[in-house]
Amino acid sequence: MIEELGIRDLGVIAEASLPLGPGFTAVTGETGAGKTMVVTALGLLLGARGDAGTIRSGAKQAWVEGRWLLPDVPEAVRDRVEEAGGEIEAGELLLGRSVSAEGRSRAVVGGRSAPVGVLADLGDELVVVHGQADQQRLRSTVAQRDALDRFGGGPLQAALAEYRVAFEAWRADAAELEALREAHDARLREADELRAALEEIEAADPQPGEDVELQERADRLTNLEDLRLAAAQAHELVSSEAALDDAPDAITLVESARRHVERMAPHDAALEPIAEALQNAGFLLADAAADLSGYLVGLDADGARELEVVQERRALLTGLARRIGGTLDDVLEFRRSGGLRLVELDGDDDRIAELEASVASGRAAVDELADRVTALRTDAAARLATAVTAELAALAMPDAELHVGVEPAPEPTVHGRDHVAILLRPHPGAEPRSVSKGASGGELSRVMLAIEVVIAGADPVPTFVFDEVDAGVGGAAAIEIGRRLARLAERSQVIVVTHLAQVAAFATNHLSVVKGTDGRVTASSVRQLAGTEREAEMARLLSGLADSESGLAHARELLEIAAERAA
């Protein structure tokens, strides 16, 4: 239930606070005073699209805030608020929405900023809004089916939920099967091409890092003679067995130096570490000479042949990489992923057979569940038609009769396999016609109200908002609409924007949108009416004159009639 609604700088309303509370609240006011802005404000709180054009002239932004009292918080509401990071404290939920002059919109849920979509999700659980556009929406088959499904209650909703799970599974399998069949030839070609590429890769059997290794070997073999000459010359200089007396090698020179130092070391202790260092240098030179000798022995005498083999291998791997499109690493990844893809492609026939069986069994399950939904809808349709017809009789349409047809559709959809149509026979002898074609504006208003009154008994909604539900209605029919709204308010909060005194008379809370001006700027405010102020507003609604004695007398009489009939 909405306890209070605050509005600032929305349309012609500069600032207003609407005390709502339980029961039936009527909102009245002169044409152009801003009654519709009350519905607009509620729409913003329920996630409707923000329009910068609704901001009051000269203001930077419009702001709307609503305070909900929820003694028994619906689980879906609590979960959504908590997901958004908000809180519901002691059953009180605060929702806010701002729209800037630049068109930016901001939402607040339970004290925390949240996406506007959260407001829409909460609105689906908390409020049903009926404007004149919604009355026209009743002309659509979708709205008619939704109305019937709401009336069907828990059993129908459960059957629909089970049906939708089966339908989505069947549709997914059918879509995959169709895609596989359509792409079968293309997938066969892909498998053949992939198999040939993988066979070529397997024949070459490339190894990780092989391209780098081959590059290094090719570089070594290309410079083989230079490497041999350099190693031989180095070995000759370090340790030469054929050295002449006038060209000693490095080992001989170091050994000679060591002997000179050692001979004089007894005369100076500082020479001892030098002698030791020279001795170590001799050892290192000997090791280097051995390594150079081993290196020379290890050089391949047939380097040209090995270089040819290496270059052939490099050319093979380069060709593979070029065909795959990348490097050797890409070739190795292609071998891995291509093998998995080939297994998938080769399994197409098995998958198609599996899907054909799944689609057949899925369709059977869909048909079985659709039959159950149809049976529940047919039963609900008969009960809805009877109950709404009785309501229409009380809404000054005593001869009208509502029919709700449930006819089979050619193919199942996510909503079932039924075509739902609400038909109205306005008087005996007339053929029932769809409300989408045969109902006037006033009749449509009453049909919609009658349906909501009936559905509210099976699918309660915390709050109903009606924007001029009495359009095209007057006289006795308007009184009955007021009485039915009062009856609906016994189970739910009802907020009605109306221009008819006959409807407003049944309200337990009467708010008036009052337009004022200082000669330059027009601004509206909201007042809660009682006593003589309410009688004056009722007189204005009846006669256009708030201080007419006959209008006031008529207003008092109408309020008394409403009190008696409501009782």
pLDDT of residue 405: 92
Q: What is the structure's pLDDT at 157? A: 92
CA distances from 493 to 6, 462, 480 (A): 17, 6, 18
Tell me, what DSSP letter sits at residue 55? B
Give bridge partners of residue 4 from the DSSP assignment: 19, 67
Asked whether residue 538 is domain-assigned, the answer is: no
Q: What is the pLDDT of residue 518?
A: 53
Residue 136 has pLDDT above 60, yes or no: no
Same domain, 446 and 366: no
More confident call, 85 vs 565: 85
Q: Which of 202-211, 377-386, 475-484 has the highest mean pLDDT?
A: 377-386
Enclosing H/E stretch for 406: strand 401-413
Q: Which of 115-124, 408-417, 469-478 has the lowest mean pLDDT?
A: 469-478
Higher pLDDT, 516 or 259: 259
Q: Between residues 185 and 47, which one has the greater pLDDT?
A: 47
- In the prediction, which pLDDT does 508 show? 92
Name the residue with higher pLDDT: 131 or 13.
13
| pLDDT at 519 (0 to 100) | 45
Structure pTM?
0.62
- Helix, strand, coil percentages in the chain from 3-state DSSP, rounded to 5: 60, 20, 20
What does DSSP say about strands 463-467 and 127-130: parallel, antiparallel, or unpaired?
parallel
Give mean pLDDT, residues 467-492: 80
- Predicted confidence at residue 301, as pLDDT, reads 58
548 inside domain? no
Q: What is the pLDDT of residue 155?
A: 93
Q: Please count the other Cβ atoms lying within 10 Å of the Cβ belonging to residue 433.
A: 15
pLDDT in tens, 91-101: 899 999 999 98
Locate 421 and state its tokens: 């149509």
Give the C-alpha separation, 18 to 21, whole Å.
Answer: 9
Establish if 488 belongs to a structural domain. Answer: yes
- pLDDT score, position 361: 95
Q: How far is the C-alpha of 501 from the C-alpha of 559, rounded, in Å?
A: 9
Which of 370, 386, 401 delimits the end of a domain?
A: 370
Amino acid code (one letter) for 157:
Q
Query: CB count, 10 Å around CB of 561?
Result: 16
My answer on whether 255 and 338 are in the same domain is yes
Distance CA 149, CA 546 (A): 45
- Is 112 contained in some domain? yes
Written as one letter, the residue type at 58 is G
Q: Are residues 344 and 449 in the same domain?
A: no
The whole-number pLDDT of residue 156 equals: 94
Final residue belonging to a domain, choices 370, 399, 421: 370
Tokens 């039915």 belong to residue: 484
DSSP secondary structure of 507-527: -SEEEEEEEEE-SS-EEEEEE
Cα 197 to Cα 426: distance, rounded to the nearest angstrom: 76
Q: Are residues 133 and 164 in the same domain?
A: no
The three-state secondary structure class of 502 is: helix
166 and 123, same domain (yes or no): no
* Number of domains comprising the chain: 2
302 has a pLDDT exceeding 80: no
At 158-180, the pLDDT tens digits run 999 999 999 999 999 999 888 87
- On whether both 128 and 163 belong to a single domain, the answer is no
What is the mean predicted confidence (pLDDT) over 20-46?
Answer: 86
Q: Which residues pair with 18 in a beta bridge?
A: 5
For residues 122 and 171, state if they share a domain.
Answer: no
Pairing of strands 509-517, 522-529: antiparallel
pLDDT at residue 166, as a whole number: 96
Assess contact for 373 and 160: CB atoms under 8 A: yes
Q: What is the pLDDT of residue 475?
A: 75
- Domain-located, residue 70: yes
Angle between helices 441-458 and 141-182 (to 10 degrees): 70
Residues 100 and 191 in one domain: no
Please check the confidence at residue 134 and state whether its pLDDT lies above 60: no
Q: Report whether pLDDT(436) > 90.
A: no
pLDDT confidence of residue 438: 61
Query: Of 541 and 473, which is predicted with more confidence?
Result: 541
Domain that holds residue 278: 155-370
**pLDDT over 70 at 517, yes or no:** no
Average pLDDT over residues 469-485: 78
Structure tokens at 29: 């006011």
Rounded to a whole number of angstroms, the CA Rg of the chain reads 45
Which CATH number characterizes residue 21's domain? Answer: 3.40.50.300
Per-residue pLDDT at 63 = 93
Residue 416: inside a domain, yes or no?
no
Going across the sheet that includes 433-434, the strands are 401-413, 416-425, 433-434
Instruction: Say if residue 188 is in the same domain as residue 96.
Output: no
* 85/202 same-domain check: no
pLDDT average, residue stretch 276-297: 86
Q: Is the pLDDT of residue 35 over 90?
A: no
What is the SS3 assignment for 459? coil
pLDDT at residue 350 is higher than 90: no
> Does residue 149 form part of some domain?
no
Q: 492 pLDDT exceeds 80?
A: yes
Share above pLDDT 70 across residues of the chain, in percent, rounded to a whole number:
90
Average pLDDT over residues 231-243: 77
Query: Which of the residue ranges 69-73, 126-130, 201-205 has the most confident prediction, judged by mean pLDDT?
Result: 69-73
**What tens digit of pLDDT does each residue of 23-34 get?**
999 998 887 777
- Top pLDDT among 474 and 548 is at 548
Q: What is the dihedral of CA 210, 212, 213, 219, to 10 degrees?
A: 140
Q: How confident is the model at residue 311 (pLDDT cuts 50, 70, 90)?
A: confident
Burial label for 137, CB within 10 Å (0-12, 13-18, 19+), is: middle
**135: pLDDT confidence band, cut at 50, 70 and 90?**
low
* Residues sharing a CB contact under 8 Å with residue 554, sequence separation 6 or more, in sequence order: 539, 542, 543
Average the pLDDT over each of 4-8, 414-418, 483-487 and give the range with the smallest value: 483-487
Which residue, 549, 531, 514, 563, is CA-closest to 14?
A: 514
Let me know whether 191 and 333 are in one domain. yes
**309: confidence class by pLDDT, cuts 50, 70, 90:** confident
Query: 448: which 2 tokens?
Result: 């919609």
Exposure of 427 by Cβ count < 10 A (0-12 exposed, 13-18 middle, 19+ buried)? exposed
Quote the mean pLDDT of the chain.
83
User: In the listed set 370, 404, 421, which residue is the last one of a domain according to the structure?
Assistant: 370
If asked whether residues 72 and 191 sit together in one domain, one would say no
* Contact predicate 442/477, CB 8 Å: yes
34, part of any domain: yes
